[in-house]
Structure 1
Amino acid sequence: MAATRLIPMHVNKGKTLAQSLGDRTDYAKNPEKTDKGELVTGYQCDPVTVDEEFLLSKRQYEQITGRRQRHEVIAYQIRQSFKPGEITPEEANRLGRELALRFTKGKYAFLVATHTDRAHIHNHIVFNSTSLDGTRKFKNFWLSSIALQRINDLLCLENGLSVITPKPYQERAKRTAYPRRIKNRDLLCDAIDAVLQKDPGSFDELLKELQALGYEIKCGKHVSVKGKNQSRFIRLSSLEEGYTEADLRAHFLGHRQHKPRAKQSFRAEVRPFNLVIDIQDKLRSKGAGYQRWASVYNLKQMSKTLLFLRDHKIESLEQLNQLAAQKIAERDELLASVQQSERRLAEIGTLKKHIINYSKTRPIYEEYRKAGYSKKFLEAHREEITIHKAAKAAFDALGVKKLPKVKELSIEYAEILDAKKRTYTEYRRTKNEAQELLLAQRNIASLYAAERKEKEPDLRKEEQSH
């Protein structure tokens, strides 16, 4: 089990950039803590001159970009701590290097120093904030610490080590120093949902309700809205589907139904992960059956499956099978709805075509009938008469007794097409979720099948002995 922490490093008060880099890297390389320097390795840098090489890359950055580095992060430190007695110092150093490579994608030089001065072996990984090519700085993105922990969990699973119990990601997100910023667009969409629940009679009444909530409205070529704490107006036409000005006007005209944004699935309460713990123990045992299984199966994929089960609160095979069956049924139902819409759209398209053809050729056919179905008239107007007969045959095949208006069909076509687009978006999301659950089922089945094969020789010996 390994815990990680990402720490931005700044210039120390009263010291220069070079002195600060030297102090930080010297502490990490301390010979008394790193077996006289044997447990210190570097990537794209020499551990002896690492601070000078970091400093040189920063000077190159200033020359290439023309930007001066003031009050910025000079480097980042990753602390990676392992469970006592679970790993050797050499193996810990190797995993520290692999963690840094995956997290930085090999674009930043770093130093890995493994300390053994405490009961738990831990790594101090210092990587430069300036890239190797000197063109960019490392961006400490939102929830980067959580991304680091997930990469670390995958590494531990791939190497037969235990991982932290399943709460950390949500808990770490809550403890993040910088609270997550809610976008003004999301707040506006939530406000529109709240107003629509009051069932206003028109689009103008919707705008008045938004004004009552403190929003400033600007009407011109485009309707724009600005909240109390906003510096700029937001065009309704730039919002997501269902919240644009056109969508909201269509809602009040009865051409479409407004649906609030879908909530994220898998929000179950935190419960013990029996299945996860069971699989984790099997991965750590590394028996002969495991070795045979690992030779034909992707261990990294199985590690990702374990994290998937944990993140989605799946604690048993029964729960996994139930969720998969439920999601597959939902997927199939949405697909059937999409296919039904497509059939109706094709039917409307065919019907509109034949109605237009029928109307255009009707005068010719009336003359043909008045002429007593004359062969001479037929030869002169064969194309128009053939089109007219084909249209009548199509109406009979579709069971149409009274021809609808082309305008009504066009409105129906637009409504069905709009509904189909929304359903298809939901179908694709559900399909991806179903595929993830099915993949987890197959991965777990492969693991347990390998275990059964491993036990078969022992069972045969017991049967023969009896």
Structure 2
Amino acid sequence: MATLKHIASKNSDYTAIEAYLVYQHDAFTGNQLLDEHGRPKLRESYLLDTLECGDFSFATACLLANRKYGKNTQHGDIKSHQYIISFDPRDAADNGLTMERAQALGLNFCKENFPGHPAIVCTHPDGHNHSGNIHVHIVIGSIRMREVERKPYMQKPRDWLEGMKHSSTAQTMRHLRVEVMELCEGAGLYQIDLLNGSKERVSEAEYWARRRSQLKLDRENAALTVAGQQPRQKKFETVKDTLRRQISSVLYRATSFEDFSDRLMQQYGIAVKESRGQLSYLPSGRTKFIRAKKLGDKFDKAAVLATLQANAERKPKTQFKQDTIGKLIHIQSRMTEGKGIGYKRWLTKHNLKVMAQTVKLLQEKGLTDEDALNQRIAELETKYHDALAVVKDLEGRMKTNKELRYHVAAYTSTKKIAQQSKAAKRPVAFEEQHRAELTAYRAAAAYLKANNITKLPSPKKLEAEYAQLASEKAKFYKQYKEAKEELLKLKTAKQNVASYFREEEPAQQER
């Protein structure tokens, strides 16, 4: 599950990034941590190499490039770019990922994608969140110091000519994300789809604001606990966190855009507007709208309209009012809490109503005999657990069927392109042009091979099998639900009878 993050820096002090990679820093302030002698503390473990720097350090190589080509002279110029490849914490234990192996992958990634740029490649064993994820920092000077061979993904002269500056465009990031996905696939590491965005997008600034505020809140809560007070809030929410939660709570109940906007305004005072095909939200108390892309892909126009349409098409579930019975309340235990005589009268009436419901239920079921009641409860428990086991089994088979249908469809739709790649006159260019399709084909082929599927099943047969499984699940789920409801009623009735006679005995003795 490797991820890729990009950071552009306008800092003209090129030694600062190397110091960050080598020495320990405070995660919140960014300041170097010092030892008892006032000297910077080295990181406990790291691997660092430089590329395209010649006999010079990274900082010197970048400064020489700036002077040679007369660039990066203004304060607002981007001086360097940093790309961070963060691997899944499980890769170390499950797939044998070590720092040395990650460093080698990072060096090769840098050579392939940033040729001609002075670069630092540094691997750390863990991140600031201490999740155990090995990650690689790739820092490049913004100016290319030599002309390189043009590759298929390079679209403009600045991508290969000497003296040109690197530009991290949307097309560049898409290419690099595909490269990371293929890197993980080739190395046998965990991976995710990096091309389809994030449902809830958290920026670097929001992430650190959340962490700093959470740390402050934890300290305040600790002080309240010591003072014997109960903390009111345990998890800190940013303005965007709160906005995401409020929009989500409305989005899954609304059935039209008008309904969606009206509910947001009535319940939370949030205004929503559409501009140039994009949605923006204005929380109560703010004067500037927050664009949907700052919150995540699930809040943009296409995703919102799709959810609203699905809500409108979903058939309302028929709700049956179930005859329920309440539970007896132990009067004496409640009276010891200092309740008044009026509360005791209310409890007495409540218990009389509950017992009337209990007796009526047992008479209707013909279970006024204790042995018959216990036998019926045992039968229902058996029926409940058997039906639940069947439902779980059917759900697992439905999930497997769904995964197989997905991979069969992907394999079928991309197989022709995979065959064309073998006969392509320019394999590298063809690979780059159809990178997404070929990646989907290889993933589907790997799934079929892992499951020993040599002959593709018919999609229609798979759909029919899924429909049959869904029908069986509905039947057994109905049995499970009915058994559960009746079981809960009878257990409550049995408990009420036992509680009633336990409370009646001391009352009779007192009289």
For the criterion TM > 0.5, the same-fold answer is no
Larger RCO, structures 1/2 (Cα 8 Å, 6+ apart): 1
User: What band does the TM-score fall into relative to the shorter chain?
Assistant: 0.3 to 0.5
